Structure 1
Amino acid sequence: MDSTTPSPDYSLTMDQCWVLLDTEAVGRVALIVDSHPEIFPVNFVLERRAIVFRTSGGTKLWGAITSKPVAFEIDGYDAHDEAAWSVMARGEAELIESQEEKDAVDALLLEPWQPGEKAYYVRVAPKALTGRRFKVNRPDLWTTRLSDPRRSTFE
């Protein structure tokens, strides 16, 4: 079995999760803010087996550095294999303060997508990393929404 083939129970190994994380640029960070969950889309890079994103001061930054624990999630669909997958990391977030560490992240081309200053670098070091992949049902040609990515298998 190679590093991208799921195990028979569809669970992904930790290495498979890291490979998938490395193929994506956008994920979602889930935080507890004012006693309720909030989810924020972020673009990110992997740096030393950790997920790093940049943000401005505000709700996301405050939630990331005060919320224990945090979760991070990505998902996708492979039209060729007709399979969907998701990866979830759980851990704690920490503010990167060292300029040397910020420079290392910048060297990985972590460029904010949203305009405005994103001066704060946040690292999520997973304590748990899980994922799964599964075959999706074949879409019905006549009733499946046009935006459903499964349609690409018969278009």
Structure 2
Amino acid sequence: MTETLSAVTELTPEACWDLLRSNQFGRLALTVGGEPEIFPINYVVQDGTLVFRTAQGTKLAALTVNDVVAMEIDGFDQTSGWSVVVKGQAHPAEWGADFEDAATAGVHPWVATRKHVFVRIVPRFVTGRSFVFGPEPGDD
């Protein structure tokens, strides 16, 4: 008997967090001037939140106007793939315990520029899916 795999499977919250912890690179989606924008970021998971670094500029300015963000990570191999989406609120970790905690998270800029601002994403929703790739066109 041949085992049939579901084409799309919802990931458990635990599986989503495992994938988030095992990766460092994601895409941050936010609104800039009324338009959606996507920025590549490197991040770490810290105490149920995501932390990344940035400098003064577009991302930081946009977060002062609208702190609602989404972040997505994904991966794949020859036969299957997965995607995790985090939706929540982002705020600069600017002072006190929040800044001190973020500074110990171990996130370092990938680009050789100074990025003194830590931003913490507090998730409201974490969802994910895994999926099996379909046959090549004409293979059916």
Q: TM-score range by the shorter chain?
A: 0.7 to 0.9
Match of 2:128 among 104, 126, 131: 131
Name the residue aligned to 2:75.
Answer: 76
Name the residue aligned to 1:104.
Answer: 101
The TM-score normalised by the length of structure 1 is 0.77
Name the residue aligned to 1:88.
Answer: 85
Q: After superposition, where does 1:1-155 map in structure 2 within 5 Å?
A: 10-79=9-78, 82-98=79-95, 100-137=97-134
Contact 1:65/1:93 (8 A) holds in 2: no
Contact 1:10/1:134 (8 A) holds in 2: yes
Deviations 1:105-148 (A, max 9, x none): 343321100111101110111101110001113568xxxxxxxx
Using the alignment, how far apart are the partners of 2:130 and 2:124 within structure 1?
21
Taking only the aligned residue pairs, the percentage that are identical comes to 38
Deviation at 1:39, TM superposition (A): 0.3
Which stretches in structure 1 are left out of the alignment for 5+ residues?
1-6, 141-155
Deviations 1:3-55 (A, max 9, x none): xxxx9960011111100001111101101000000000000001111111000
Distance 1:124 1:134, change over 3 A: same
Which stretches in structure 2 are left out of the alignment for 5+ residues?
1-5
Distance 1:108 1:138, change over 3 A: farther
Query: What's the RMSD between the two structures over aligned residues?
Result: 2.1
Contact 1:96/1:122 (8 A) holds in 2: yes
The count of residues paired between Structure 1 and Structure 2 equals 132
The range that moved more, 128-137 or 35-44, is: 128-137
Tell me which of the two structures has the higher relative contact order, counting C-alpha pairs closer than 8 angstroms and 6 or more residues apart: 2
Contact 2:27/2:39 (8 A) holds in 1: yes
The TM-score normalised by the length of structure 2 is 0.84
Contact 1:64/1:122 (8 A) holds in 2: no
